[in-house]
Amino acid sequence: MAVASARTAELSHAERIRSVVAAAGSLGLTTAGASYDLIAMHVVDSGRFTLRVPDDTPLAAEVVCAPRGALGALVEFTDIAPVRARDRVRARVTLSGRLTQSGRRDGNVLVLGLDPARAAIHWQGRVEHVDLDEVFRTEPDALAVHEAAMLGHLDDDHRDVVTRLARLAAPEVRRGVVAVRPYAMDRYGFTLRYEYARGHRDARLLFPSPVRDATEVGVQVEALLAQSRRCRGEYRF
């Protein structure tokens, strides 16, 4: 029997925003004066979003010279599936507000804090605006920072496992499939992307129980594989 495609167990929008931000290695930042691509410069700690930028950069100069020391900014994160798949962009997160100096320096690094005014996520074709208090009091998903490595390992080294998991989707999803990719994973389960000669479709395969951390994933995958062995019919892709 397929693992609940009708039953829903999804991250909240706030959890998804926090998870995208936690897992992101880079971001785009736009001010009135310029646009920047920043790599490994952000952190969210105790509900505070901070950037660490060298003090000799144009962004640092913009903040220092901004009226009253506050620079309007739009911060954008793009969540991209870590495997080869069609339409790899899974979500886009935007935080808008004002950048200010935090009052701390770390050598030649200026520490900037974002005082956010709005948060939004573009996901599954819709833009959802999320309450900021909810965003910053929510923790990222338990698998957020591990997902990319785990899905990449599954896709590269365990295609047999993906094939067996793929049997759990409904027959109409499996019909005519040419490839299946492990597209996403969170504490509730997998999203598999089924690709056809034309188009694609996703199926949600839920773990028997949500995981609390990455060490519990293996047991849950084994439980799904046990279910897949009871599914009738063989197919190849």
Residues 16 and 188: their CA atoms lie apart, in Å, by 13
Ranking 9-23, 102-116, 209-223 by mean pLDDT, the lowest is 102-116
Superfamily (CATH) of domain 147-228 = PNP-oxidase-like (3.20.180.10)
Residues 15 and 21: their CA atoms lie apart, in Å, by 10
pLDDT of residue 133 exceeding 70, the answer is yes
Assigned fold of 13-137: Pnp Oxidase; Chain A (2.30.110)
CA-wise closest residue to 140 among 79, 193, 218: 79
Q: Is 147:154 a contact under the CB 8 Å cutoff?
A: no
How many helices (H) and strands (E) are present in the chain, helices listed first? 7, 11
Residue 109 corresponds to which amino acid? V
Cα 145 to Cα 64, 98, 213, distances in angstroms? 33, 27, 11
Q: What is the mean pLDDT of residues 142-150?
A: 97
122-130: long-range pairs with CB below 8 Å, 24+: 122/91, 122/92, 122/93, 122/94, 123/13, 123/16, 123/90, 123/91, 123/92, 128/13, 130/13, 130/14, 130/17
- Pairing mode, if any, of strands 126-129 and 177-186? unpaired
pLDDT of residue 45 exceeding 80, the answer is no
Domain boundaries, given as residue ranges, for the chain = 13-137, 147-228
| pTM exceeds 0.85, yes or no | yes
Residues 29 and 27: their CA atoms lie apart, in Å, by 7
CA-wise closest residue to 85 among 229, 234, 201, 227: 201
The alpha-helical segments, DSSP class H, found in the chain are: 13-23, 58-65, 132-137, 147-157, 159-166, 171-174, 217-228
Tokens at 32, concatenated: 């009135």
Residues 123 and 157: their CA atoms lie apart, in Å, by 29
Express each pLDDT in 177-214 by its tens digit.
999 999 999 999 999 999 999 999 999 999 999 999 99
Residues 193 and 3: their CA atoms lie apart, in Å, by 15
Mean predicted lDDT score pLDDT of the chain: 90
Q: What is the mean pLDDT of residues 104-133?
A: 90
Report the sign of the C-alpha dihedral through residues 112, 118, 119, 123, in that order.
Answer: negative
